[in-house]
Amino acid sequence: MLATAAVDTPCFIAALRRVLPAEAVIAEVEALRVYECDALSAYRELPMAVVVPGRVEEVQAVLRLCRAHGVPVVARGAGTGLSGGALPHCRGIVLGLARFNRILSIDADNRTATVEPGVRNLAVSEAAARYGLYYAPDPSSQIACTVGGNVAENAGGVHCLKYGLTVHNVLSVTFLTLDGELCETGGPTLDAPGYDLLALLTGSEGLLGIITSITVKLLPRPAGTQVLLAAFERVEDAGRGVAAVIAAGIIPAGLEMMDALAIRAAEDYAHAGYPLDAAAILLCELDGYPEEIAEQLDRVQGILRAQGAVAVRVAKDEAERRLFWAGRKAAFPAVGRIAPDYYCMDGTIPRRELARVLAEIAALSKKHGLRVANVFHAGDGNLHPLILYDANRPDELQRAEALGSEILELCVAVGGTITGEHGVGVEKLKEMCVQFSAAELSLFHAVKRAFDPEGLLNPGKAIPTPRRCAEFGRMHVHRGALPFPELERF
């Protein structure tokens, strides 16, 4: 259970400054505001202090100090998370890992890279390019997001359909316990005795340890790549098209979908050549040897036309292929231009349910009186409905949260899950109570206690208590927090 004793803030900050360089401790209110939220900016909290160490020994000293004083620790990468996972604790510190930004090694023969957690996702592929290699997981925020944050959230991306999520591309991590003990899990072999702690840490949202280095798999650049764009007059037809492609035994490198609202926003922003009269488009990327790509292109075009595609275009060259993807990658900022605010959801459903779920999201949109732009990794059923609202109108954020909650509950009802890559954070605590039973949540808490007995690592995130689930059943959860401060956060 999280320690609740009050800490003498000035004395604790002075203690931090004794174990860290002066510039590595941030305590001024205005400077702290930079860290008050992640990309889910609807939820905000000021921490007691922020520390930005640059060496493992400094992180160890901070963790030991925090444990001794019962101070919560929230690890933070680039702050690009979308579930409030890096939301500060008002009585705790934010442990920024931005200075851990070195690529430690690239082993081209074994196709691996070892990096510190603050290395940007895209920087790994840039460094490996000279060897004809790249790192496959590619979140839309890859130009800014960090590998450590990707591990914490088990991030995906456009190419996760064929090449897997972060968990499928990480070979080992080193991490620090709350005691400051340095541990390593995983390795170069396919299996090892004992529990699979590597998979457990991936997606653990900073609740179990502080990652200090990661070894990832690198892949050879494919011999060829081609993208086609298919336009549909009905969203449901596009959904059925996705399922039909996978059912035919074809696994594209990427299979993405956008609806009419997202298409118009992305086209206005990126000028990607998208058809503005389409109700939905699919972007399907195929890679491999040229003969293989040509054969699959013919098959995919036939399948999509049979499912109602009214137009299918194949990128005429590399420049157009990049342009097609530029529109998809820019969809989130593009939607930000057509509404004062938007609330990005993240749920995953079986592909066979795409058509049904998209129709029900449209109905929920009308029910709550808020527009929804759908942009998502269609191939693996990972939805990203963007709920448009105006935070300056008193009830719109609450309506957006309620709509998002109903979408996630719908995902669970059709056999899916409440997250695919964004994590739970504070945003989806209520829906965790829908996804899991009290017994299952208790098991999660037992694992948490094994790593962090005092509950000081990122408290109040990812796993609600059974008591909190009971409270969720009787109230609306607003801004990711309960209205009663006396209720426990962990």
- Condensed to tens digits (0 to 9), the pLDDT of residues 224-237 reads 999 999 999 999 99
Own/partner pairs for 20-24, CB < 8 Å, 24+ apart? 20/51, 20/53, 20/58, 20/61, 20/62, 21/54, 24/51, 24/52, 24/53, 24/54, 24/58
Q: What is the pLDDT of residue 484?
A: 35
- pLDDT-derived band of residue 156, with 50, 70 and 90 as boundaries? very high
Residue 33 dihedral angles phi and psi, to the nearest 5°: -65, -25
What is the band of 478 on the pLDDT scale with cuts at 50, 70, 90?
low
User: Looking at residue 432, what is its pLDDT?
Assistant: 97
Q: What residue segments make up the domains of the chain, in order of their start? A: 9-96, 103-220, 224-333
Across the chain, mean pLDDT equals 93
Cα–Cα distance measured from residue 462 to residue 423, given in angstroms and rounded to the nearest whole number? 7
* Integer Cα distance of 215 and 55 in angstroms: 18
490 has pLDDT over 50: no
Residue 154 has pLDDT above 90, yes or no: yes
Residue 483 binned pLDDT confidence (cut-offs 50, 70, 90)? very low
Percentage of the residues of the chain whose pLDDT score is greater than 90: 89
Residue 466 has pLDDT above 50, yes or no: yes
Answer for the pair 282, 303: CB distance below 8 angstroms, yes or no: no
Lowest mean pLDDT among 456-460, 461-465, 484-488: 484-488
pLDDT at 479 over 80: no
Residue of 337, 432, 344 lying closest to 382 (CA atoms): 344
Q: Residue 477: which pLDDT band, with cuts at 50, 70 and 90? A: low
pTM: 0.92
pLDDT in tens, 168-193: 999 999 999 999 999 999 998 888 88
Q: Give the pLDDT score at 1.
A: 44
Domain covering 103-220 in this structure, CATH number: 3.30.465.10
Are both 9-96 and 224-333 of the same fold? no
The pLDDT, as a whole number, for residue 480 is 60
pLDDT, one tens digit per residue, over 282-337 is 999 999 999 999 999 999 999 999 999 999 999 999 999 999 999 998 999 999 99
Predicted pLDDT at 481: 58
Q: Are 203 and 196 in contact (CB under 8 A)?
A: no
Which stretch of 37-41, 45-49, 190-194, 431-435 has the lowest confidence by average pLDDT? 190-194
| Termini Cα distance of the chain | 6
| Whole-number Å distance between alpha carbons of 363 and 415 | 19
DSSP 47: -
pLDDT of residue 137: 96
Res. 138: pLDDT tops 70: yes
- Which whole number is the average pLDDT over 43-66? 97
Instruction: Report residue 64 as tokens.
Output: 């030991």
- Taking residues 371-391, what's their average pLDDT? 95
**Span 365-375, pLDDT tens digits:** 999 999 999 99
- Which of 401, 398, 403, 396 has its CA nearest to residue 364? 403
* CATH (one of 3.50.7.10, 3.30.43.10, 3.30.1340.10, 3.20.20.450) for 9-96: 3.30.43.10
Angle, vertex CA 309, rays to CA 306 and CA 315, nearest 5: 115
Banded pLDDT at 489 (limits 50, 70, 90): very low
Mean pLDDT for the stretch of residues 113-132? 98
Domain at 224-333: CATH code: 3.30.70.2190
Residue given tokens 């931090």 in the structure block:
16
